[in-house]
Amino acid sequence: MRRACTCCFTSRPPNINPQNSDCDKPSQSSVVTMTSTQENNASGVPEGMEESLTKLSPRAANILLNHDFSMGLQHWHPNCCNGYINLAESNNRDEAFINTCAKYAVVTDRNEGWHGLEQEITNNISPGTTYSVSASVGVSGSLQGSVDVLATLKLVYKDSTTNYLCIGRTSVLKEKWEKLEGTFSLSTMPDRVVFYLEGPSPGIDLLIQSVEITCACPNELETGIANAGDENISLNPRFDDDLKNWSGRGCKIALHDSMGNGKVLPQSGKFFASAMERLQSWNGIQQEITGRVQRKVAYDVAAVVRVFGNNITSTDVRATLWVQTPNSREQYIGIANVQATDKDWVQLQGKFLLNASPSKVVIYIEGPPSGVDILIDSFVVKQAQKISSSPPPRAENLAYGFNIIMNNNLSNGTKGWFPLGSCTLSVGTGSPHIVPPMARDPLGPSQPLSGRYILATNRTETWMGPAQMITDKVKPFHTYQVSAWVKIGSRATGAQIVNVAVGVDDQWVNGGQVEISNDRWHEIGGSFRIEKQAEKIIVYVQGPAPSVDLMVAGLQVFPVDRRARLRYLRTQTDKIRKRDITLKFLGSCSGGIFVKVRQMQNSFPFGTCISRTNIDNEDFVNFFVKNFNWAVFGNELKWYWTEPQQGNFNYRDADELLDFCKSHNIETRGHCIFWEVQDTVQQWIHSLNKNDMMAAVHNRLTGLLTRYKGKFKHYDVNNEMLHGSFYQDHLGKDIRADMFKHANKLDPSALLFVNDYHVEDGCDGRSSPEKYVDQILQLQEQGAPVGGVGIQGHIDCPVGPIVCSALDKIGILGLPIWFTELDVSSINEHVRADDLEVMLREAYAHPAVEGIMLWGFWEMFMCRDNSHLVNAEGEINEAGKRYLALKQEWLSHASGQIDERSEFRFRGFQGTYEVQIVNGSKKTSKTFIVEKGDTPVEISIDL
């Protein structure tokens, strides 16, 4: 994706983030005899390991692997350049310069300022924690004066959004080491976090001696946990009392004051423990905490770990909870994982919550392959600190309907605009004269566009294009809509992505994206929001390949008046969701009869994602049953869950969830039969040849749909076909339609859905409404019985007209549309509540939408952080209160007297009603149901 930075503007090649495959867990193993050793010798250390181990002083753990390049460039990746390690004895640099560093990295062949050295740190950091960055850097090459070296974070999200955060900067003279320092803290956790060093001009070599990223306060987490609860759940957490309360899980454990001839020392305190002679990845150190943890209480876990031996330098280390329920059912709950190294101590942090009452609970550390020792310096489990509710954001009032872009009609040439990079800007004529449709209603009556456009030529990088500074015009906590007409030149070969980007200080924000494959004008629309005042904000248009001309007309950036939109949606909701209802009372009626009508339940589908462990929590169940009438299973029906290894089936979880839903009259969606994204497909399927894979696909269809025939109202047949093509690549272009056909034969009663993400928000050119419609039409042309359209709805900064535009475009198919995985995310509960209200009202007011499913509502059981409505211990937050308020608003109540024709008229939503008839001192109650529809309805009630 593209990004803006204060030193350069550039595009980056995509990175792949493979998913870790699931693995079976063994049952609880027997405890092996403990051993204890404190000898300072190399016993058990593989030959040559001593030289690779670095002696540590007691300090904060460095989360970077191979931070001093003692293992060459292992764990580091030269991004679009080359690198090598220089040693003091190489004598290819000025001697005075080189003597300051025994070993350092040289990053060379740099053709862009952002080319540099990077390392992924996703698993080593946690949101809300402050980290300090320190690096010793230099430069070499043909240069005069000083150049800047930057430390940067690349933040990659599931929705393909990529942001860049500058976290440190220093000026460096040729062949002189300088210290680069900075700090960072992430409020939410991206799917990937990559740290890298960059900055000097192309052709200048970047030199890096050592790099450290440490928790700014090493005991910060433990301090926070200590204040949260009265007691530490784990006993002897720092091994001050030998190995008391600890045992080996399928292995031996030992106590040490050092290892590797004194090169491995405790991170804090006097001792650390090790899990040794491990034969399986699940072997490790454990402690039983039965009776010290309570159900429905959130706990924080903090450990300091590293690995040793077997010539391994880094590996995954995990904290896991093994739970046995009174009915002897076993559960394995993943708490946290981190990439641990044999060089430094690293922090392992996570949370857990027990839904059911356990008969036994064991917490343990596991993960590395056999033969690798796990070292543990400390292991703290504390009741999680309660986080106070976030206050409403203080947002300034703005004049709505006002475009903040200066000279957007180009009547003053390019005044107010500047070229980003070395491209050339000029003004042309022949662009559309109408405001882009998605912006027309929010802007209100406006003058036609001038027909002039800004032309960017001589583009040598994808990020080059027209730009404008908007720093003083953007206010925190306001959502801004973005809209424009864009077009590309004739030199393009293949489809091109055009993007409206917003550079907020050193971060990049996606303001809208469209894919263009012809020479016509295209509408682009999106949104953005900032939550603190920025020093510099730039809006710019970018994206086509170098040498492709870019044309932009009528760029609009304006604050969204949500209150005006909500007033409109209330009117639309009345038209779309209500019916004129006449109650006709039969039997003897006399004048003066009073009726009171109260709607008990709206039958429009409002559902949520649930999991098997959720239904052991009665608080979860009470909220769910009271406030939802549909359910979808988060994982329990997916193929990797029901058949993790070929022929090894697990339907127990799905069966129990189905029985639970049936007992509460909850309808269910089947998610999903297949998942087209490669990283979600089990390894055993990857290893099959074409014929065996085809057989496995048909077995999956037959086994699943025969077992559950008639039990799921919907199926997502092949999830995310706009973003993946695994089965199509392996089995041919007809396989997708064949999946639908075969599923329909096996269970004709189920509606068969397509399902994908970012269809509704304008931020992903791969999944535009137009592309989704084309895909569905192609499936139908191949005979696929597509019965419904699923829009997932994982959205940020939603804007009503953009969402509505997508629904209108997909609605032309005449198929029912469902929001299938709706969630909104903001650390501020009030902002989250506003976003949720926007999405619920837009969906409920649109005639093509026939159901809304949230992707969860309970903290710690959701896909995205800061998206829950109810916290882990059952307290309803502002977003949850807003949801409940809307559910109440969408219930109809009326009262009055029966008229002379023994009738009572009112307008109400579909669903179940109770009417109370008062005739003098006599009171009678009846119930009736209003079915879905938009025409007047008469309900006869026999008195």
The separation between CA 185 and the C-alpha centre of its own chain, rounded to angstroms, equals 18
**Which residues have C-beta within 8 Å of that of residue 684, sequence separation ≥ 6?**
645, 646
Distance in angstroms (rounded) separating the CA atoms of residues 635 and 642? 9
821 is catalytic: yes
- Contacts of residue 391, Cβ cutoff 8 Å, sequence gap at least 6: 830
Residue position matching structure tokens 């894919």: 515
- Residue 627 tokens, joined: 């406030």
Rounded Cα gap, residues 72 and 82, in angstroms: 13
Q: Which of these is catalytic: 366, 636, 676, 821? A: 821
Q: How many angstroms separate the CA atoms of 791 and 817, rounded?
A: 7
User: How far apart (Å, rounded) are the C-alpha atoms in residues 667 and 631?
Assistant: 6
User: Residue for token digits 């999830």?
Assistant: 719
d(C-alpha 285, C-alpha 281), whole Å:
12
Q: Helix (H, G, I), strand (E, B), or coil: what is residue 583?
A: strand
Q: 500-536 burial, b if ≥16 CB within 10 A, otherwise e?
A: bbbbbbbbbbbbbbbbbeeeebbbbbbbbbbeeebee
Name the nearest CA neighbour of 262 among 116, 56, 118, 453: 56
- DSSP per-residue string spanning 767-812: G-HHHHHHHHHHHHHTT----EEEE--EESS--HHHHHHHHHHHHT
Rounded Cα–Cα distance for residues 817 and 813 (Å): 10
Neighbours of 761 (CB within 10 A): 26
- In sequence order, the 6+-apart residues with CB closer than 8 A to the CB of 288 are 360, 361, 362
Residues whose CB is less than 8 angstroms from the CB of residue 567 and which lie 6 or more positions away in sequence, other chains included: none
- Are 793 and 760 in contact, with CB atoms under 8 Å apart? yes
**Rounded to the nearest 10 degrees, what angle do helices 800-811 and 562-577 cross at?**
30
Distance CA 667, CA 608 (A): 11
How many other C-beta atoms are found inside a 10 Å radius of the C-beta of residue 50? 14
- The closest alpha carbon to 418, from 358, 466, 463, belongs to 466
HSE of 721, CA atoms in CB hemisphere, 13 A: 28
Q: What are phi and psi of 230, to 5 degrees?
A: -80, -30
What is the residue whose two structure tokens read 């025969």? 706
DSSP 875-932: -B-HHHHHHHHHHHHTS-EEEEE--TTSEEEEEEESEEEEEEEEETTEEEEEEEEEPS
- Whether the Cβ atoms of residue 892 and residue 909 lie closer than 8 Å to each other: yes
903 catalytic? Reply is no
Active-site hit among 277, 720, 760, 850 = 720
Q: Name the helix (H) or strand (E) containing 608.
A: strand 606-610
Rg, C-alpha atoms of the chain: 31
3-state secondary structure of 71: coil
Q: Which 3 state secondary structure label does DSSP give 471?
A: helix
DSSP string, 312-361: --EEEEEEEEEEE-TT--EEEEEEEEEEEESSS-EEEEEEEE--S--SEE
DSSP string across 624-681 = HHHH-SEEEESSTTSHHHH-SBTTB---HHHHHHHHHHHHTT-EEEEEEEEE-SGGGS
- Please identify which residue in the block is written with the tokens 């070969």: 493
The residues annotated with a catalytic role in the active site are 720, 821
